[in-house]
Amino acid sequence: MNEERLLLKWAAWSVAVGVVVFALKWMAWLLTGSVGIYSDALESVVNIVAAGAALIALAVSARPADASHPFGHTKAEYFSAVIEGALILFAAFEMIRAAWHRFANPQPFDQPVLGLATLALAAAVMGGWALVLLAQGRKARSPALIADAWHLLSDVIATGGVLLGAGLAWLLKWWWLDPVVAVLVALNILWVGLKLVRGSVGGLMDEALPKEQVEKIRQTISANLGGALEYHDLRTRVAGPRAFVEFHLVVPSQMTVAEAHAICDRLERALAEAVPGLTTVVHVEPESEAKGHRTMRMGTRRS
């Protein structure tokens, strides 16, 4: 897939840029001793490891279906999210631990000017890279790449917040503000992590497609039903960039297999066009079978 190739390439570059940003943040921490900056640097570590894991997951996910994985490898993407979630928990715990310690013993920064300037440089590198990703994502019309760019921009804002907090702590000699900033960084990363894990668990549990997409599928089926009588028992599930739908199609009892198959092919084509990455499986049944069949299974989703 083209978009996957593109993502792989930019994800690899993102890891490299992430390492540079992390080195700058770590330097800023060594120069100041600020726990707020320390937390921001830890967040960078999480981002780098997560980007690396995502890179491996994307490479696995891009492999075509094979004999041992006939539905493809796209669920690999959820593993990297689970790893990122675990890392976030660990990092947030460490941030709060460091902040707690510093709150009990507030201390001034060692080299505030040089340290804060280094952190500002890190933010500028991140911001510049985010804009590059955004431009590339728009050019290639890749929602995933655009989402990555927005995520990075939100990280720039977080680093900006740390810069502001540390700057105020230094200018006003409010040294207690530094651990407060560290706790805010921890809460922010926890919030992001929670959403991430929530999404991945949904995918691993074969969650249905979002409501709007299911609605689109229903409309597409209804619009292309011609020749068939009705459909029921529609089920959907998501596996990374791929999605699966299956349903029962009721046709007149006298219809030939060839005619029914032509309807199925038409529905499959229309659905693939309506929802990219969608695989459709249709179970055909004659009108005479469907009636008793349907009332029996009213309210259940099993066939």
Binding residues (CB under 5 A) for Zn ion: these are 248, 293
Residue whose C-beta lies closest to Zn ion? 248
Among 197, 188, 201, CA closest to 84:
197
- What does the DSSP 8-state code read for residue 66? -
Q: What span, in angstroms and rounded, lies between the C-alpha atoms of 167 and 122?
A: 15
CB of 290 to Zn ion, least distance (A): 6
Give the residue carrying structure tokens 């040294």: 175
Nearest CB to Zn ion, comparing residues 102 and 248: 248
- What does the DSSP 8-state code read for residue 220? H
Nearest CB to Zn ion, comparing residues 50 and 282: 282
Nearest CB to Zn ion, comparing residues 70 and 212: 70
Per-residue tokens: 88: 């976030």
CB of 268 to Zn ion, least distance (A): 8
CB of 229 to Zn ion, least distance (A): 12
Nearest CB to Zn ion, comparing residues 25 and 248: 248
Give the residue carrying structure tokens 């929602």: 143
Diameter over CA atoms, the chain = 86
CB of 65 to Zn ion, least distance (A): 17
Give residue 166's identity as a one-letter amino acid code.
A
Determine the angle formed by the axes of helices 112-140 and 35-61, rounding to 10 degrees.
Answer: 20
Q: How many CB atoms lie within 10 A of CB 298?
A: 7
Partners of residue 237 on adjacent β-strands? 244
Nearest CB to Zn ion, comparing residues 128 and 252: 252
CB of 303 to Zn ion, least distance (A): 6
